[in-house]
Amino acid sequence: MPIIAPSLLSADFLNLGKDIDMINNSEADWFHLDVMDGCFVPNISYGMPIVAQIKKRAKKFCDVHMMVVEPQRYLEDLKNAGADSLTVHYETGYHLQRTLSAIRALGMKAGLAINPHTPVEMVQDIIHDIDLLLVMSINPGFGGQQLLPMTYNKIRQAREMINKAGANTLIEIDGGVTLDNAAAILAAGADVLVAGNTVFSSSDPADTIKRLKQAGK
């Protein structure tokens, strides 16, 4: 069964507690939390204080996706805020293996995200340092975009690379995940589906989560 991670970026922030409770009571597995700085991506979301408030109410795994420059500056703060996994971007540049090791040393799962233009093979040498490979299926920064068709081939390439290396890395897909394409994404080799607009624009978000969960059958 796939791991379903609703993205709170699409939640109603005037009623955030209600949306958190909905996820707690649904078949979702994780909370997906997007931290954006307005520099790495052209948008600003929320930071450590909001993550900490979400963690107080969330009863499930908190999967934090850092779309920021110099993510290494914030690892300990996000751990203290309640992150269970922390994903940084390959494109942020320097000393990625050191950053991934630091995330694990703090007791979190270490994730690495790649943007649509970044080839999967760029992470081959550090695949054993990654608990989670997040393949961006849109250009990051805003929800509600359509999944890029190249994504399916990248998932297949990532699955082949992980299997060949004998690694246990999960493949997470973020962006444009819908009820119409979830089964194909999972068939290509993905393990984790991030869904924001699909869940929170639904008339019955909990049922939509259930249907996404069943897409892997």
174 catalytic? Reply is yes
> pLDDT tens, 75-86?
999 999 999 999
Largest CA distance in the chain: 46
pLDDT in tens, 18-73: 999 999 999 999 999 999 887 777 778 888 999 999 999 999 999 999 989 889 99
φ/ψ of residue 202, rounded to 5? -75, 150
CB half-sphere exposure, 121, CA atoms < 13 A: 0
* Angle (CA) 45 63 100, round 5°: 100
pLDDT of residue 147: 85
Query: Annotated catalytic residue: which of 34, 63, 129, 131?
Result: 34
Catalytic residue selected from 19, 129, 131, 174: 174
User: Mean pLDDT, the chain, as a whole number?
Assistant: 93
**Domains by residue range for the chain, with CATH:** 3-214 (3.20.20.70)
